Amino acid sequence: MTKDFQLTTLANNLTVITEHMPGVRSATIGIWVKRGSRHEPAPLNGICHFIEHAVFKGTRRRTALDIAIESDRLGGHLDAYTTHELTAFSMKVCDTGVEQAFDLLADMLAHPRFDAEDLEREQRVILEEMKMVEDTPEEHLAELFNTAYFPKHPLGRPIEGTAKTVPTFDADHTRRFHQHAYAPANLVIAAAGNITHEQILELAARSFGDSTSETDTAAPHLEANEAAIETAPAPAAPILIRRKKDLEQAHLILAAPWVSARDEDRYAASLLASVIGGGTSSRLWQRVREERGLAYSVGASGGTYTDTGVFQIYAATSPDTLDEVLDISLQELRRTTREAVGNEELRLVKDQAISSILLSLESSSARAGTLARQHIVHNRRVTPDEIIARYEQVTPDDVQRVARTYFKTDTLALGALGNLNGFKVDRSRLEI
């Protein structure tokens, strides 16, 4: 542990992590909650995302307008998001505003008002958000595909919930889930920038030090779901084709199982995804967009969870060129299993990954987020030097081994949405 990086666990199991960044005047303060949509029982699908919204509606000491004014006055960017596995709140401010920013975040998360009228209004807001997703083809296809890819598992449910579940989130349900999910043992406070560990520790103890973990008593109805929530999913291999005549483009997802966030092959897998479709020099970008002009948007990425992952190629193209884009995508997957990546191409994606790491070191928000996520996923800090060294150790054989492990005919999945005319796909066409 360096003097700039420090970690303390309070008596109530709340974790405080800090990294001092010499020579900067900014600081990012964040509170990460180790609960996301994966940790919800089916009848409460979407409540983590709902609470993320609801805490902005006011506390015992602040109205929603007070929160907005105070955030603007601090000149910071107050950000919040929910994923399948966590919920995050962070604020980047000048170092002179650290105490005020921390007090604001802590008050929102520890003492939300959850007024019944406010919650009803926010339900309507989130229902409108769902409609916006349905009107955005790439997001709509992603949700449809995710449900088919992780059937009967919490990872397959939409993060924002459904039109059936969200209207049931009254004040009682919301308070009980919040009390359970936002217990100190589920919180990670991370800060980076011109701060000291003692400063953040004092603020954390002041705001959360008297709190005790109530996860065993606050919401006993949740415990019955724990086994299902923590069980690793068994991904399906769906071929999902949805026709929507009013779309100008056809939207395509080609997917395969992938490494988890904890897998030792995650570095080789990340480089493999970059080779296939991670940037403007990638194979898909060059073949689909630059050489043939078939798409404006095309790429590939690997999404990881703590116990599984999903590799996806995404493209949007004209309905009459969808078959060609699919064929090119399949050709590139086959190519990675049959031919080792060249040293020059591998060097390119390594440089790309390493540059991204080094550039992120200049951002207090990137550092704070990395500290929190690494603790939640790995229960330790993974230093930039370690990450860079692991990328440098990846060989062409490692990349090909990952491709051969995960790109297989029987586990490949496909999703398509749009005015698809006669577009058809069977398993034989997805042969790797």
Residues above pLDDT 70, as percent of the chain = 94
CATH number of 239-430: 3.30.830.10
Instruction: Please say if the pLDDT value at position 184 is more than 90.
Output: yes
Residue 38 carries which DSSP code? G
Q: CA separation (Å) from 369 to 92, 142, 159, 183, 185?
A: 11, 25, 20, 20, 18
Report the pLDDT value the prediction gives residue 221, as an integer from 0 to 100: 47
* Residue 76 banded pLDDT, cuts 50, 70, 90: confident
Compute, in degrees rounded to 10, the torsion defined by CA atoms 317, 142, 306, 358.
40
- Reported as a pLDDT band with limits 50, 70 and 90, residue 231 is confident
Listed range (175-179, 217-221, 406-410) with the worst mean pLDDT: 217-221
- Residue 111 identity: H
Check pLDDT > 80 for residue 132. yes
pLDDT in tens, 322-367: 999 999 999 999 999 999 999 999 999 999 999 999 999 999 999 9
Asked whether this chain's domains 5-228 and 239-430 adopt the same fold, the reply is yes
pLDDT > 80? residue 217: no
pLDDT, mean of residues 106-134: 96
Give the residue numbers annotated as catalytic, written as ranges: 52
What is the pTM for the complete model shown?
A: 0.93
What is the C-alpha R_g of the chain?
23
What pLDDT shows up at residue 421?
A: 80
Per-residue pLDDT for 216 more than 50? no
Confidence of residue 230 (pLDDT cuts 50, 70, 90): low
> Which pLDDT does position 210 carry in this prediction?
63
- Concatenated DSSP letters for 132-196? HHHTSHHHHHHHHHHHHHSTTSGGGS-TT--TTTGGG--HHHHHHHHHHHTSGGGEEEEEEES--
Question: Looking at residue 247, what DSSP letter applies?
Answer: -
Per-residue confidence at 296, pLDDT binned at 50, 70, 90? Answer: very high
Query: What is the Cα–Cα distance from 332 to 329, expressed in whole angstroms?
Result: 5
CA angle 37, 43, 44 (to 5 degrees): 40
Query: What pLDDT does residue 8 have?
Result: 97
Supply the pLDDT for residue 220: 40
Residue 94 β-bridge partners:
26
- Domain 5-228: assigned CATH number: 3.30.830.10
Res 182: pLDDT: 97
**What number is the average pLDDT over the span 290-294?**
97
Domain spans, the chain = 5-228, 239-430
The angle that helices 197-208 and 98-110 make with each other, rounded to 10 degrees, is 30
Sign of CA dihedral 257, 152, 139, 426: positive
Q: Residue 391: pLDDT above 90?
A: yes
Higher pLDDT, 45 or 2: 45
Does the pLDDT of residue 224 top 60, yes or no? no
Say which amino acid occupies 224: A
